[in-house]
Each structure stands twice: as structure tokens, then as C-alpha cells.
Homo-oligomer: A and B are copies of this chain.
Amino acid sequence: MTFYLIGIDGGGTSCRAAVAAPDGRILARAKSGPANILSDPETALSNIADAARAAFREAGLDPDTIAKARAVLGVAGHNVGDAVEYVKRWLPFAAADIESDGLIALQGALGDQDGSVAILGTGTIYVSRHREEVQYAGGWGFTIGDLGSGARIGHSLLQESLLVHDGIHDPSPVVSTVLSEFNNDAREIVEFARQAKPGEFGRYAPRVFEFAERGDAVAARLLKDASLTVDEALDLLVARGTKKICLLGGLAPFYRSWIAPRHQSLLAEPEGDALTGAVALAVARFGRRPEAMA
């Protein structure tokens, strides 16, 4: 019996799927809407199925045969318990494993090598693998985690703008852009921040990097604080034996020059993306060992 493999990279803004032959050769890719299994499992299930069917169609395959396929899904919020079990039960595949978005990113970036990835985006999470053992650090979300993330950098910029507004800190160009955006009204900034989701704070992060490049002292201080938290996490990865680190996520290119000199020689370009990683895990679990199928 021939069956296909599916890799899914499910995120808060979109869900990507790839269909592959049992040997892992990717036949087609496709994309659908958000797949956050924690905040909205029904929509996630529907978009996961849509992306998979679209990939099958794109490959010239009958979309209904996704029901015979084996899949590995990488999803944000996978470590939050009940939602995973619920989604797993209702997935339209013959067999499926749900993993963290961090693990499929690691597999995509490093292939089967040992090493680590630092995913620096709206949030931050660190994943390392040594001799089959996978370990995580960070990734606890905006409220008391995700240090160094875009959301935290944006948050620190807005906080700084209030200190400048009150006269407690000296002004700087990057802070002035924020103050004029909010009509120099501290109450508007506070109101925005009270409602803002992590992604909305995170939209300020690239601006902080850009102004720091141009010599803005406040932007540079905020990024020095942020990179310190990243370097502390990288120290942990190194202590665990990592000899290769890939920076991933939207802020990776921005962060590259801010990483401490002691880590620069460990930084490497990723081999592939998270979707490639999901497919590779599907091959390892379902492609080469058909006897392990459910």
C-alpha cells in the first residue's frame, strides 16, 4: 500500500502544509489560515485539513486521500496539554504526531545533526538536541517569559516613552517617534498598551533595531538588555554541549550583530525551514518504519 507523508507548520497567522512521498521527497506545498490549537482548536483543525488538501491538489493527488496519509504537525502552544489531545483525536489523517513548532524548526535547521536553534520572533524559545535528547528553554509567552522577544522589546520601548514623557529619562529620537505617534499623550500610550497583543508590541521591535544602528542611545540600551537575555539562554545551550546554533524567526537577521562575541563562532545558517523539518520527522516516524504505524 502506498501512502503519503504530510508535514504541517501551524502558526498563529497561517498554516503551511507539504505533501511528500514515503521517502520524504516533497511533492507540493500549500498554505491556509491560522492554526492556533490553544486559542481556537476548531479553526486550527479546519485550516490544517484545508492546507493538507490544497497540497494534495497542488501535487495532482486526490485531496480525499489525506485520510490515508501520515502526518507530523508542529504547532505553537503544543506544551499546553488538553488542546493537543483534542486536536489529535479529530485530525483527518491515518496517523499523526503533534510536536512543538520549536522541534520542527530544529529539525529543519539542523537536519539530523546535534545543535540548537534560537527562535527570535514575537516570542522567544530555545531548542537543543544532543544524542536524541531534545531540550527546551524559554517559550513561556509574553506575560512573564519571552525575554528578548519582539513583544518584549516593543513593550520596553513604550515603557521608555512614558519615562521620557514624565521627564524621568532623557528623550531620544526613537522615543520621539512613539510620542508623536500617540500625540504626546501618555494616556493614549497606556490605553494602547492595555489592549495590545504581543504581536502589536512586537511591531515596534524592528524600529528599535533600526534606530540603534543609527546611534540612538536609548534604542541601544534597550537592545543591550534584550540581547543579554538571549546570550544568557545561549550560554545554557553551550553548557548543554551545543556546538552549532541557528538563529531563526523574524528578528534573527536583526539580532545577528547583537549576539555576544563568545557565541558568534557557533552561529550557522539553517539548512531548511520548519516545514521541511516536519516532513523529515514524518519520514523518520512513518516513512521508514511502516510497522510503527497506528
Contact = CB atoms under 8 A, between A and B. Distances in A.
A242 interface: no
B167 A137 contact: yes
A137 B186 contact: no
Contact of A137 (B166, B190, B194): B166
Given A145-B159, A159-B145, A186 B140 contact: yes
Contacts of A81: 187
A162 interface: yes
Contact of A169 (B167, B193, B232): B232
Contacts of A144: 155, 158-159, 162, 189-190, 193
Majority secondary structure of chain A interface residues (helix, strand, loop or mixed):
helix
A1 interface: no
A252 interface: no
Interface residues of A, number: 31
A194 B236 contact: no
A194 B145 CA distance: 11
A131 to B, nearest CB: 18
Interface in A194-237: 194, 232-233, 235-236
A79 interface: yes
A155 B155 CA distance: 15
Contact of A138 (B140, B145, B155, B166): B166
A294 interface: no
Interface string A150-194: 000001001100110011110000000000000000110110011
15 contacts: A138-B168, A140-B162, A141-B194, A144-B155, A144-B158, A144-B159, A144-B162, A144-B189, A144-B190, A144-B193, A145-B159, A147-B163, A166-B233, A168-B233, A169-B232
